[in-house]
Every structure is written in structure tokens, then in C-alpha cells.
Amino acid sequence: MKNMGFRWYGDGNDSIKLSDIRQIPGTTQVVGALFDIPVGEVWPKERIAALKKEVEDAGLKLEVIESVNIHDDIKIGLPSRDKYIENYKETIKNLAAYGIKVICYNFMPIFDWVRTDLHYPLPDGSTDMAFQHKYVEGSPEDIIKSVEKNSNGYVLPGWEPERLAEVKRLFEAYKDVDEQKLRENLKYFLDAIIPTCEKYDVRMAMHPDDPPMPLFGLPRIYKNREDMLKIEQMHESKYNGFTICTGSLGENPNNDVPAIIREFVKKDRAPFIHARNIKFMGNGDFHESAHLSSEGSLDMYEIMKALYDTGFDGYIRPDHGRDIWGEEGRPGYGLYDRALGITYLNGLWEAITKENK
Ligand code: DNO
Ligand code: MN
């Protein structure tokens, strides 16, 4: 695939080197971010320029940013949101100056994606991340403790220490924010930033809520097709788009992921795809799995076929992978299994392309 990417956390922050990524066959893009800029602040041009140069010097491209996170004041709808929205517009402008085409973001209150086990053992001796409902019946603090204990000393995106320290205060601040209020706040944000995106040709790509269900009583507004229709209508523009994360959406068995791809790629609302597989364990519990269809519950061939049939020419990356071959890096973001994932996805793509010539 033309724009196959690999998420990278930056020098000193990632045990994987750009030169390693360069050697994964068929990989042209790095999906990066400036992870140390506090949420809500403007991303300085010099820092973007340096990252861009570093990636290009390694023979790769940087056209997708994941993520420029949204300040909680925007999601809560506090008066201070206007200041953070202005900063966000400035960041869009600065990123555009260095050829960034897509910004992935999410609109989940307080937590980013949630897993209850970061090293769930699989029968082949590898480990992967899992979600079991029995562990989220308790308090959010229990999950935080378990994430901190299990992340091999790495900071996981969305689980930054300064963010976790604030969790209690944030729960209080979100107490009047239900789904409807959160949607209003998303619309307010989109109405403010999409004209800037149009002007500078940067497409927003909202990531689904993960898992796609309300958690700890917090509202979730991108769980399924119906939610996507509502978000799409909030601001009619192709710059108001989605990241279709096959794993996140696929965690609800009622979501028909290939059908969602067909519908939203056709409408040119899905500039970015996260490809990964998950396996159901009963009771709505799941663990992540290797990318192969035979290893999980999602049909990755049907997913790639849906992309092919709709003429997808956007950006794609393998999402999480297992820890294999003794690799003990940031959970979900090792080199080996994500590289295997890329090779498999590219293999499916070649077969589908040739079959349809
Ligand atoms: C989960 C991952 C997420 C994602 C962020 C985007 O499926 O892809 O960590 O990167 O939610 O903001
Ligand atoms: Mn994802």
C-alpha cells in the first residue's frame, strides 16, 4: 500500500529506531507526534521542522500526526476552551507548513483507550493487551494502578503521569457532561477549527472510543456507525473525518467494520486507517491478536477488500501488536509484531490488487 505507516514515539522515547522502520518492506510513512508538548499548547514550528527533518533524513515521510490531543476544557465546554481552540488552530497552521496532511485525535473524556491487562498471555507464549469487564467494575484508580505496574516503565499515550494525577478532579469536572453535551462540545470545536483545516488542507481524523462503550459512567460518542453519522453531520466537510480503527470498532461485535469502511471511505470521510485484529473471549471481553484473520475475530481480508473496492488512497498503519521474540518494549508498540502485521496487510493488498486487474 502506498501510504503504509508506522507509529513512532521519537528519539529517546522509543526503543525502535527510524532505521529499523525503514527496513520494514513497503513502509513509507512515520506516524509521529511531539509527545512532550503539554496538551493545549501550540506546537512550535522549530520542533515540527526538526521532527520532519529527522524522519526525512531516514528516508521516510511524515504526513500524519497522531495525536494532537484535545484539552479537557474543550470536551467539558468551559469558557477557557476558546483559548485552547485558538492554540489548536495555530498548531494546525504550523503542521500544515511542514506538509502534514492528517491529524488523528480523539474525543474521549479523561482516559484514552483502556485495557485491563497489558501482558495477557497467549497460548503461543507471546503476550498481548486484553480487556475484561470484571476489572472495570471497580474504581478507575484500580486500572491506573495496574497500568502503571505493567507498562515496563514506559509512558503509554493517554496515560501520562500528569494526566493521571488529575483524574479525580476531572471526574468532578465532567459530572454534568452527558453524551449530548459532549456532542455539542465536539460540534463547537469542529465549527471553530474546520475552516482553518480547509484553508491549510489538513484533514482531521477522529479516532473511535476504545473500547466502544461507556466506561466508569463517562460518555462515549464515537462507538458505531450511528455515532459516525451524527459526527459527520455536525460539520459537512471532508476535513471533518474519521480514523477508522478496525480493532476499536471491532471490539463491539455488532459493528460491521468492512461495511463502515465501505460507507465512509466512499464518502471521502476516512483519511486514516488503523488496522488490527482482536479476539473475543465471551461476555464482551477481548484480547488483541496477531493481524491474521485466522488469529482473531475480524476478517482482515474483507477489511482490505473494502478499502480496495472503495479506492482508498489515504494513510494506514498497523495498530497494536503482540510482544514476541523476547521484545519487552512499550506494550502494544513493539517492532516485530507490527512489522509482521505490515507484511501481512501488504500481502493481502497485492493479492487483491492482482486479482482485480
Ligand atoms: C487505539 C490506539 C489509540 C489512539 C488514540 C488516538 O486503538 O490507536 O491509542 O492512538 O486514541 O488519539
Ligand atoms: Mn487505533
Q: In angstroms, rounded to a whole number, what is the distance separating the alpha carbons of residues 315 and 312?
A: 9
What pLDDT is attached to residue 237?
Answer: 97
Residue 248, ligand 1, Cβ within 6 A: yes
Residue 246, ligand 1, Cβ within 6 A: no
More confident of the two residues 279 and 218:
279
More confident of the two residues 132 and 300:
300
List phi, psi (to 5°) of 318.
Answer: -65, 145
What pLDDT is attached to residue 357?
Answer: 85
More confident of the two residues 311 and 117:
311
Residue 185, ligand 1, Cβ within 6 A: no
291 C-alpha vs ligand 2 centroid, how far in Å? 13
Enumerate the β-bridge partners of residue 277. 289
Residue 247, ligand 1, Cβ within 6 A: yes
User: For 161-196, b where at least 16 C-beta lie within 10 A, e where not — what string?
Assistant: eebbeebeebbebbeebeeebbbebbbbbbebbbeb
What pLDDT is attached to residue 147?
Answer: 67
Protein residue with its CA nearest to atom 8 in ligand 1: 319
Q: What pLDDT, in 10s, does the model give residues 214-245?
A: 888 889 999 999 999 999 999 999 999 999 99
* Over residues 99-119, mean pLDDT: 92
247 C-alpha vs ligand 2 centroid, how far in Å? 7
Q: In angstroms, rounded to a whole number, what is the distance separating the alpha carbons of residues 321 and 13?
A: 18
Q: Which ligand is nearest to the CA of 210?
A: 1
What pLDDT is attached to residue 157?
Answer: 63
Active-site option among 245, 323, 337, 344: 245
Q: What pLDDT, in 10s, does the model give residues 58-84?
A: 999 999 999 999 999 999 999 999 999
The overall average pLDDT reported for the chain is: 93
Residue 186 has pLDDT above 80, yes or no: yes
17-31, 83-97, 117-131, 306-320: least confident range = 117-131
Mutation pick for ligand 1 pocket among 8, 111, 112 (CB with most ligand atoms within 8 Å): 112
User: For 318-335, b where at least 16 C-beta lie within 10 A, e where not — what string?
Assistant: bbbbbbbeeeebbbbbbb
Residue 201 has pLDDT above 80, yes or no: yes
**Binning pLDDT at 50, 70 and 90, where does residue 185 land?**
very high
318 C-alpha vs ligand 2 centroid, how far in Å? 9
Q: What pLDDT, in 10s, does the model give residues 263-273?
A: 999 999 999 99
357 C-alpha vs ligand 1 centroid, how far in Å? 35
Active-site option among 9, 210, 239, 274: 274
What pLDDT is attached to residue 143?
Answer: 67
Q: Could you write out the DSSP letters of every residue in 178-241? A: -HHHHHHHHHHHHHHHHHHHHHHT-EEEEPPPSSSS-BTTB----SSHHHHHHHHHHS-STTEE
Residue 207, ligand 1, Cβ within 6 A: yes
**Binning pLDDT at 50, 70 and 90, where does residue 254 land?**
very high
Query: In which order are the strands placed within the sheet that holds 117-121?
Result: 117-121, 127-131, 285-289, 277-282
Q: What pLDDT, in 10s, does the model give residues 151-164?
A: 666 766 666 777 67
* Closest among 247, 319, 245 to 277, alpha carbons compared: 247
Burial (CB count <10 Å: 0-12, 13-18, 19+), residue 226 = exposed
Q: In angstroms, rounded to a whole number, what is the distance separating the alpha carbons of residues 307 and 310?
A: 5
What pLDDT is attached to residue 155?
Answer: 67
Q: Which ligand is nearest to the CA of 273?
A: 2
What pLDDT is attached to residue 114?
Answer: 86
224 C-alpha vs ligand 2 centroid, how far in Å? 14
Residue 157, ligand 1, Cβ within 6 A: yes
